[in-house]
Chains A and B, each alone.
Chain A
């Protein structure tokens, strides 16, 4: 575990930079996290991030790409455009949530 300073305040992150405590996240932190991976947040990004935060609060785990697509009505293709390359990981990172579980 390391402590990193993001948006002028200390946050605990794991070796990949994911927040260890989703409770340390707020809407001021998201643009800074997004910037670190080269994304400028738009309203379309925010729709996804808000869904992820709300869903996590209920389900206790990070939504998969499929779940996010179905629940937000955004095609997977669009999620790839918003969060290029590795959308499931990048969405979770910006939302301050654990990396979605790779199932074994």
Chain B
């Protein structure tokens, strides 16, 4: 059975939304595909990490959304007010109504500093810095260029966050940056996390903790922030611990888009509950959530968006042709972790397999090393910006299988 003339509406033209729109247009050319976003600015978000250290220029990571969408994809610019799942329509803030046969929510997640008392204020983007927005990353670059030593504190508010390895990468890069400037001796570097270790999973947590202590970075665990005291320059936890800072770099609470909550489609953080293998809303079969917008229990990361969109597309084609969906997303994530001095580590994992040590993709050969520093990993990370703009977003195949492979991974005794 062919389906004719139906409409896919995609909310959000970021990594996932752009890939979805382009791929559906290619596979189902008789469908009309529309994308809604509030602006025409597409940032290569992994680039934010490098800006504070002057290692990437703002201009290299910012482009137009439109230029990465196939010409036949309709682009609607506007603020989304709400989704009406029963009526299968979306209302924009200016009153425009867009109907759909299927809806993909790909509006991601964003930092919400206003959710932590004292985080916003006079010192926001000054002594209270962040690098999860373009403006924040640029402001932090200016702060770090004037930093002369003291306490530099990297803090994460609450999980989940977009790119959960980024705070570690920032810390490693800061260590390297300070050494190069002869400021490391006068700086106390502190890594503060709400988790009970450097990372969520045991093997990665052990390896990454070792990397922190090797660099003389202090690890402060189980720290759940209650407020920032900008005047006294301390962060205060619910159990009344205080950590002093001269420069705070924080990752605010991350939440999905507000219209998700307004439409009754989200959990308490506005993430859309979905089946973790099909990405289909658990409440409405005409709605899917892809990229960071869903509640799937894996990293909020571009690699997850990429792998899950590929699996989703196969299912979507089956669904609209009236067949059962037979593909299962396994939660595959593949994350480079910059570790400074021109090196990086690589994490490769899924819902069931935690990040392990080993070689990637081939045992004994690599060329990439899992959970170990190498120059090749770093070059892989740098090369990805080019791949992102030129292959990933346009929907060209990258030759990376969507499903995780155990090949080359070292399994540990339980």
Contact = CB atoms under 8 A, between A and B. Distances in A.
Contacts of A70: 268
A16 B247 CA distance: 36
Contacts of A67: 267-268
A104 B297 contact: yes
A103 B157 CA distance: 13
Q: Which of A64, A65, A102 has the most CB of B within 10 A?
A: A102
Given A70-B268, A84-B239, A85-B239, A103 B164 contact: yes
Nearest to A68: B268
Given A76-B238, A77-B226, 5 more contacts: A70-B268, A80-B238, A103-B200, A104-B201, A104-B297
B220 to A, nearest CB: 14
Contacts of B297: 101, 103-104
The 7 closest A-B pairs by CB, nearest first: A103-B160, A102-B200, A80-B238, A103-B159, A104-B200, A67-B268, A104-B299
Contacts of A84: 239
Q: Which of A64, A70, A103 has the most CB of B within 10 A?
A: A103
Contact of A85 (B200, B222, B298): B222
A76 B349 CA distance: 32
Interface string B260-300: 00000001110000000000000000000000000001110
B126 to A, nearest CB: 27
A54 B262 CA distance: 25
B195 interface: yes
A103 B292 CA distance: 13
Interface in A74-91: 76-77, 80, 84-86, 89
B196 A66 contact: no
A66 B230 CA distance: 24
Nearest to A15: B414
A89 B222 CA distance: 11
Contacts of B337: none
A58 to B, nearest CB: 12
B226 A104 contact: no
20 contacts: A64-B268, A67-B267, A70-B268, A76-B238, A80-B238, A84-B239, A86-B196, A89-B196, A101-B297, A102-B195, A102-B196, A102-B200, A103-B159, A103-B200, A103-B297, A104-B200, A104-B201, A104-B333, A104-B349, A104-B354
A63 B238 CA distance: 19
B239 A76 contact: no
Interface string B348-368: 010000100000000000000
A86 B238 contact: no
Interface of B: 158-160, 164, 195-196, 199-201, 222, 224, 226, 238-239, 267-269, 297-299, 333, 349, 354
Interface size class of A (residues with CB under 8 A): 10 to 19
Given A102-B195, A103-B160, A104-B333, A76 B201 contact: no
Nearest to B296: A103
Interface of A: 64-67, 70, 76-77, 80, 84-86, 89, 101-104
A104 B298 contact: yes
A95 B371 CA distance: 35
Contacts of A89: 196
A103 B349 CA distance: 13
A101 B160 CA distance: 10
A20 B222 CA distance: 24
B242 to A, nearest CB: 15
A77 B236 CA distance: 12
A84 B239 CA distance: 7
Contact of B222 (A64, A76, A86): A86
A9 B311 CA distance: 47
B31 to A, nearest CB: 34
Nearest to A66: B268
A104 B201 CA distance: 8
Contact of B239 (A64, A65, A80): A80
B164 A77 contact: no
B150 to A, nearest CB: 29
A65 B238 CA distance: 12
Contacts of B160: 103
Contacts of A86: 196, 222
Contacts of A85: 222, 239
B307 to A, nearest CB: 14
A84 B238 CA distance: 10
Nearest to B295: A103
Contacts of A77: 226, 238
Nearest to A86: B222
B56 to A, nearest CB: 26
A62 B4 CA distance: 43
A88 to B, nearest CB: 9
Given A85-B239, A103-B200, A76 B224 contact: yes
